[in-house]
Structure 1
């Protein structure tokens, strides 16, 4: 994997922190992508999340770039760590990574072999540097200002794009909000895609009374390089919006984009409904409830589970414990998914009694890794204490790690 290293400053705003830097136009063309948003026919079918490409405008931009008075002071807005399939990239070896240099200076490592950054705003500016429109290829060395958001969910990408461009004639703000879930209250319930429902639940959990109210932020999944900075300065815990959205999605769909594309074949005020994906084979544990529009039941399950975690594994905040970090929360959603799959819940056997067994662990142990391996280890440890998995299926290395997680008695 080849990487480009650049320096950036952090900007703190209400929606999310983002990072300001400059990147060569030629490099941006290599590792960014955009997907246009448009009504595709008279029935209002939707596709993408960007403006339709304007060839005339691109030719004009290409000519402007070649002029001696060329200047693009406005930032190109990027959403890093999303694939062209619309999926959040979890593999640390592929993700854009951030490393703290000092109080407000950061180094960003960008993998250049794959397109893993969506263009939220500025696609025409950048595409004007394409070979088709730019005669002088030396202009590819021109640096363009960029504002980089990390792990910004698709719904928030559309919301940011619509907010920036909503007053311009070329962009229909409601169109972007319609597709990505910021106005679900105004839409028929049967038309909500899994993504819309997950975003709606996440926003409800964050802004109304819930076990994690105020703890969900639009922020990058914390990388190993930022671990020390976050642990040393953070007074209260927070988790990324993407982590919660992905966790909820895993309960109701195995492929969110597939469902969105399928349901987009009909207009929301026409024949669109969840039944359009009912024939798709999907073993997600709450899939039937999603198809039956039993959203209250789904939310109650998630709410009760998070409440039980708050009373057990989140009872005492430890800034060094990974149970409050991305890998820990991902593992907790994995555990919920497994609990629901084997259907072991009864009135006597609730979430709290199950999770109490996992309080023997210290997830701030140095044995825990902030990676996909760490997620697996935390999940296995919790499932093992619940007796949901048998230790015979775990390797000796897995068991040794789980044993290292156990809290040490004072005499030890």
Structure 2
């Protein structure tokens, strides 16, 4: 294995699955972040308890001693940037099976990009910044776990071990759906709620196809499957430029209580944002349902399909296409009725061309631009492309037209 590959054991539990893996402290620090949590006047900031410098120095001294040991695991979550955006495909940590019978996997870390959140154990880890030594740590790694579900892990662990302000944890990233008024749901919390709905509702495009909370208990064997993160990221592309900032605004204290959704600013770049602000979640659900059911029908996507549209790059491109369609034609019944007509224009694209549409950020961008070109008649010249990329897409589009 390369220096960025590690053996890991998959552990399945009711909440979801994680990987037990040995990682060096220096390796994690180069790729990790921790967000401190507190109420600062009327505003909530961060996502964990604040790092205490004196405690870090004490831990640093312990690390440099002959008695140094951290046998309990550091809980980390990979594949989200610090602003709560899902990491680009090329930056995402992933696993490959080595021996599924033994739950043995290979963890692959493709780059040194900072895409790893410290869910629990931040003082132990950042204590190494005040030490001269470094050594291996026992890590419990969650992949593709959205920030709102990372919060559930943090809150559960810390409620059982040491006092934590429950309202702080819930408002920041605890997000227990059955305990919070939907008026103060953040964009990513709404996305999680929609994810649950679509994952289990018969007749919906995503039913039986979302690997909710990483454990594939709701995905029949052989079905195509996407992660919770892929779906959540897609919904956010309709609603929010900065989910973390929106969360803070919604949870600001006022003399009447928390500010609520209407506190966030309008942004015309996101087609469903106003519906989110006025708490019309049903409209968002209906638009997503109509669009993806049309995708499934027009492109004849079955449960066992191996189609670019049911891969992460395809789901991301489709959600972005949906946003552009709604921005261009408006959010109304006529537009929804036109979904099938518009999507049929994409049938000219060779969606089996995995060489041109690889599972990478480049493949996703190519797919989105090709969809915008054929479905919305958008010229490549208006897409702010480099000259060579514009020619490459133009040549490929001409090939599709001549098929």
TM-score (norm 2): 0.82
- Identify unmatched segments of 5+ residues in structure 2: 215-220, 384-389
Partner of 1:126: 125
Partners in 2 of 1:174 and 1:258 — Cα distance? Answer: 18
- SS where residue 293 of structure 1 aligns? coil
Partner of 2:244: 257
Q: Report the more deviating stretch, 245-254 or 260-269.
A: 260-269
Q: Residue 331 of structure 1: which of 312, 317, 324 is its match? A: 317
Between Structure 1 and Structure 2, the one with more helix by share is: 2
**Residue-by-residue CA offset, 1:201-228 (whole Å, 9 max, x unaligned):** 22222234433123222589xxxxxxxx
Kindly indicate whether the alpha-carbon contact (under 8 Å) linking 1:218 and 1:241 is maintained by their aligned counterparts in 2.
yes
Q: Report the more deviating stretch, 9-18 or 195-204.
A: 9-18
Partner of 1:223: none
1:237 pairs with 2:236: no
**Residue-by-residue CA offset, 1:353-412 (whole Å, 9 max, x unaligned):** 33234345442223322123322333344444435435776844214434666897xxxx
Q: Residue 343 of structure 1: which of 324, 329, 339 is its match? A: 329
- SS where residue 128 of structure 1 aligns? helix
1:307 to partner: Cα distance: 1.9
1:77 pairs with 2:75: yes
Partner of 1:352: 340
Q: Report the more deviating stretch, 242-251 or 175-184.
A: 175-184
- SS where residue 166 of structure 1 aligns? helix
Partner of 1:187: 180
Partner of 1:34: 34
TM-score (norm 1): 0.80
Partner of 2:4: 5
Q: Residues 403, 97 of structure 1: CA spacing in aligned structure 2 closer, same or farther, 3 A cutoff?
A: farther
Kindly indicate whether the alpha-carbon contact (under 8 Å) linking 1:8 and 1:19 is maintained by their aligned counterparts in 2.
no
Q: Residue 363 of structure 1: which of 341, 351, 370 is its match? A: 351
Map 1:95-244 → 2, pairs under 5 A: 95-96=92-93, 98=95, 104-109=104-109, 111-112=111-112, 114-131=113-130, 134=131, 137=132, 139-140=133-134, 142-180=135-173, 182-209=175-202, 210-217=204-211, 235-244=222-231
Q: Residues 184, 72 of structure 1: CA spacing in aligned structure 2 closer, same or farther, 3 A cutoff?
A: same
1:15 to partner: Cα distance: 4.3
1:21 to partner: Cα distance: 2.1
Q: Residues 299, 161 of structure 1: CA spacing in aligned structure 2 closer, same or farther, 3 A cutoff?
A: same
Kindly indicate whether the alpha-carbon contact (under 8 Å) linking 2:211 and 2:225 is maintained by their aligned counterparts in 1.
yes
RMSD: 3.3
**Residue-by-residue CA offset, 1:109-146 (whole Å, 9 max, x unaligned):** 3533x432110111121122232xx4xx1x32x21111
Partner of 2:218: none
- SS where residue 37 of structure 1 aligns? strand
Partners in 1 of 2:84 and 2:151 — Cα distance? Answer: 12
Kindly indicate whether the alpha-carbon contact (under 8 Å) linking 1:193 and 1:260 is maintained by their aligned counterparts in 2.
yes
Q: Residues 271, 80 of structure 1: CA spacing in aligned structure 2 closer, same or farther, 3 A cutoff?
A: closer
Q: Residues 346, 389 of structure 1: CA spacing in aligned structure 2 closer, same or farther, 3 A cutoff?
A: farther
